[in-house]
A = this chain, B = another copy of it.
Amino acid sequence: MPAPGPFLRLHPNDDVVVARRPAAKGESWFEGDFGVIAGQAIDLGHKMAVRTKSRGDAIRKYGQLIGFATEDIAPGEHVHVHNLAMGDRRFEYEFGTEVMPLHRPVAPRTFQGYRRPDGRAATRNYIGIVSTVNCSAASSRFIAEAFDRELLSSFPNVDGVIALTHKGGCAMPFDCDNHRMLNRTLAGFARHPNIAAYVIVGLGCETAQASFLTESQNLIELTDWSKSGSSAVRMLTENGAAQAPLMMNIQDVGGVRKTVERGIAAIREMLPEVNKVQRQPIPIAELVLGMNCGGSDGASGITANPALGVASDRLVAYGGTSALAETTEVYGGEHLLTRRAVSRAVGEKLLGQIRWWEDYCRKFGTTIDGNPSVGNKRGGLTTIFEKSLGAIAKGGTAPLSAVYDYAEPMNDKGFVFMDTPGFDPASVTGLIAGGSNIVVFTTGRGSCFGCKPVPTIKVATNTPLYERMPEDMDINAGRILEGASLDEVGTEIFEKIISVASGEKTLSEKQGIGDDEFCPFLPGPML
A523 smallest CB distance to B (angstroms)? 6
Candidates B360, B375, B469, B519; contact of A525 at CB < 8 Å? B360
Interface check A436, CB cutoff 8 A: no
Interface check A455, CB cutoff 8 A: no
Known A167-B425, A422-B171, A472-B255; judge A363-B363 contact (CB<8 A). yes
Candidates B174, B255, B516; contact of A470 at CB < 8 Å? B255
Interface check A194, CB cutoff 8 A: no
A502 smallest CB distance to B (angstroms)? 25
Known A209-B374, A295-B203, A422-B171; judge A513-B469 contact (CB<8 A). no
Candidates B167, B174, B446, B470; contact of A374 at CB < 8 Å? B174
Contact between B250 and A446 (Cβ–Cβ < 8 Å)? yes
Candidates B135, B361, B375, B517; contact of A294 at CB < 8 Å? B135
State the CA gap A176–B374 with chains docked (Å): 13
Interface check A256, CB cutoff 8 A: yes
A388 smallest CB distance to B (angstroms)? 13
Interface check A399, CB cutoff 8 A: no
Interface check A220, CB cutoff 8 A: no
Chain B residue nearest to A513 (CB atoms) is: B138
Number of interface residues of A (CB under 8 A): 78
Contact between B366 and A525 (Cβ–Cβ < 8 Å)? yes
Known A205-B373, A205-B374, A448-B203; judge A134-B251 contact (CB<8 A). no
A497-527 interface mask toward B, CB cutoff 8 Å, 1 = contact, 0 = none? 0000000000000011111110101011111
Residues of B near A134 (CB, < 8 A) are 423-425, 516-517, 519
Residues of B near A142 (CB, < 8 A) are 512
Residues of B near A251 (CB, < 8 A) are 295, 445-446, 468-469
- CB contacts under 8 Å to B, within A351-381, are 360-361, 363-364, 366, 368, 370-371, 373-376, 378-379
Chain B residue nearest to A376 (CB atoms) is: B205
A424-436 interface mask toward B, CB cutoff 8 Å, 1 = contact, 0 = none? 1110000000000
Interface check A206, CB cutoff 8 A: yes
Interface check A165, CB cutoff 8 A: yes
A127-144 interface mask toward B, CB cutoff 8 Å, 1 = contact, 0 = none? 000000011011101100
Residues of B near A173 (CB, < 8 A) are 366, 370
A325 smallest CB distance to B (angstroms)? 13
Chain B residue nearest to A362 (CB atoms) is: B363
Interface check A338, CB cutoff 8 A: no
Interface residues of A (CB under 8 A from B): 134-135, 137-139, 141-142, 165-167, 170-174, 176, 178, 203-207, 209, 250-251, 254-258, 294-295, 328, 360-361, 363-364, 366, 368, 370-371, 373-376, 378-379, 421-426, 445-450, 468-472, 511-517, 519, 521, 523-527
Complex A-B: 20 CB contacts under 8 Å: A134-B425, A134-B516, A135-B424, A135-B448, A135-B449, A137-B516, A138-B448, A138-B450, A138-B512, A171-B371, A173-B370, A204-B446, A205-B379, A255-B470, A258-B471, A360-B525, A363-B364, A363-B524, A421-B526, A523-B526
